[in-house]
Amino acid sequence: MGQAQRPDRRTVLGAAVLGAGAAALGPAAAAATADGGRGRGAGRGRTALPVPAVIAHRGASGYRPEHTLGAYQLALDMGADVIEQDLVPTRDGHLVCRHENDITGTTDVADHPEFADRKATKTVDGTEITGWFTEDFTLAELKTLRATERIPGTRPDNTLYDGRWTVPSFEEVLRWAEREGRRRGRPVWLHVETKHPSHFRALGLGLEERLAKLLRRYGRDRANSPTFLQSFEPTSMERMSRLVRTPRVVLLWTADSRPWDFEQAGDPRTVADLVTPEGLEWISGFAQGVGPVLDLVVPRRADGRLGEPTTLVRDAHARGLLLHPYTMRNENRFLPADFRRGTDPDAYGDAFGALRAYFETGIDGIFADQPDTALLAAEDFRRN
């Protein structure tokens, strides 16, 4: 999509259920969107998503093992505006939902003696990792495993659900979203990340073409689709822009970091370069948004307390880019120091206060592990 054709951020937020997207779900969905989404909290103009929108980070991962249908369903039932998936490939070319291709800590693979010989040491984006990897399993083999809680020390209650769900394929999630969309009379929004795309392309398991094929199959390949695509590698979103018109978001890690595709190509730019007006203008040529780590929006001082907001929100909005920063979590250990309460790092702090501080910067949405908390905070913010 050329520069002159790209939709602005408000269009992106609203387009997916205005027209063909809603019509595909029938009269109830069309009626639900005709009022600009006021029934769920009016956003800006004719937006279908409220502003700020709540994106369920890997599902309701604060309450269920991440990237399971259980986590996605709970997030949707809580009212999350968008549900996130991270995609990695299997050996036979299927896309599955895992935060990493290393599944050692998120499945019970170590308890399967038949897969003991699959344990390997690999280098992924410059980091050496020992474990079990999705690209060494067929989808059928992965389906014999069960998902487990990734951080059981922090979220011991989630371990109750260890073993309850399998690793979902992305196609399963797309079918689930279709069913839930019909049942609810409105589309289920997804936020879909390509993980380590350069790494997998080198293995002959390129993600983008496989993802585009599924998006076309399920009607999520258009500029008005209820879907965001995202990646920490800008060139992955450039590639997707040539395959589908689905809105795209470039994820941004710390200012001193460099995207892995830049490392591979010898591109000297860092994230600090990408968040300048010039860098954002470049991103706007092939993407409709950025997903910065929250510290790029409001840095933390040396004592861990929130400092003054940067100009990122203003600069991105000036170039028509929406902002979906990550990740809000309720536990003290993840919160800025001024919003922690008590001495237990795993107890909840003042998540509402932290969310309010982030919303006041003008962001368009936020990734949250506990979407119910973020939804309440967003409702409070829109009322005040």
- Selecting from 3.30.428.10, 3.20.20.190, 3.10.450.50, 3.40.50.2000, what CATH number does the domain 53-100+168-383 have? 3.20.20.190
Pairing mode, if any, of strands 322-323 and 365-368?
Answer: unpaired
Percent of residues, the chain, with pLDDT higher than 70: 88
DSSP assignment letter at 161: G
Beta strands in 69-136 (DSSP E): 82-89, 95-97, 120-124, 127-131
**What values do phi and psi take at 131, rounded to 5?**
170, -155
Q: In this structure, which amino acid lies at residue 170? A: F
Q: pLDDT tens, 107-137?
A: 999 999 999 999 999 999 999 999 999 999 9
- Contact between 15 and 223 (Cβ < 8 Å): yes
Q: pLDDT tens, 350-367?
A: 999 999 999 999 999 999
> Domain residues of the chain, as ranges?
53-100+168-383
**What values do phi and psi take at 186, rounded to 5?**
-155, 155
Which residues are known catalytic residues? 57, 99
pLDDT beyond 90 at 11: no
pLDDT beyond 60 at 34: no
User: What is the number of other CB atoms lying within 10 angstroms of the CB of residue 156?
Assistant: 11
pLDDT band at 48 (very low <50, low <70, confident <90, very high): confident
